[in-house]
Amino acid sequence: MKTETKLRVFKDGHNFASAHILPGMGKCERLHGHNYYVTAELCGETDEKGAIIDFNAINPIIAGICNALDHKTLLAEKNDGMTINRKGDSIKISLNDKKYQFPAGDCVLLPVTTTTVEKLSAYILGELLKELTGKLDAIDWIEVGVREGAGQMALARKNIG
């Protein structure tokens, strides 16, 4: 009989602080920020060594993804309510009657429709899956959670096997 085992990863370093704008979401349409915390859960059957995946394979990947987002302004490239123009070393944003300009190095353009915690968890899951290609043979599913303050978390899950 198959026994599934869950592995949950949540560590110091699996967090980032970022600013964002959520068009069409009331006061969240103003530029604001959060401290985000990332968890990952993997479920599968243990291998001959008694593990479903090595912690050393997953922890640095999550830390790297978080580091790339840390202290950046997160911008949704696919949002129809906001115009994003990159010119040289700056990014200009138009949103209704507001105009913003940021140094390009202070921004991350994400391939999402919005930067809600739901979309951020799906984005991070996708990035994690890219990095784990070839290492997921024993994994049935993987889930990434992004917490945006106490008591608020979104989870994105992908079935693998």
Question: What is the spatial distance between Cα 145 and Cα 119, in angstroms, rounded to a whole number?
Answer: 11
**Token pair listed for 7:** 């592995």
Catalytic residue among 34, 107, 143, 148: 148
Among residues 28, 41, 45, 131, which one is catalytic? 28
Rg over CA atoms, the chain: 18
Whether 40 contacts 143, CB under 8 Å: yes
Q: Is 71 a catalytic residue?
A: yes
What tokens appear for 59 in the block? 């922890």
> What gap in Å lies between CA 149 and CA 128, rounded to an integer?
22
Rounded Cα distance between 89 and 104, Å, is: 5
Name the catalytic one among 4, 32, 71, 77: 71
Active-site residue flag, 148: yes
Of 128, 119, 140, 139, nearest in space to 75 by CA: 119
Catalytic (active site) residue 43: no
| Per-residue tokens: 100 | 């913003």
What positions carry a catalytic annotation?
28, 71, 148
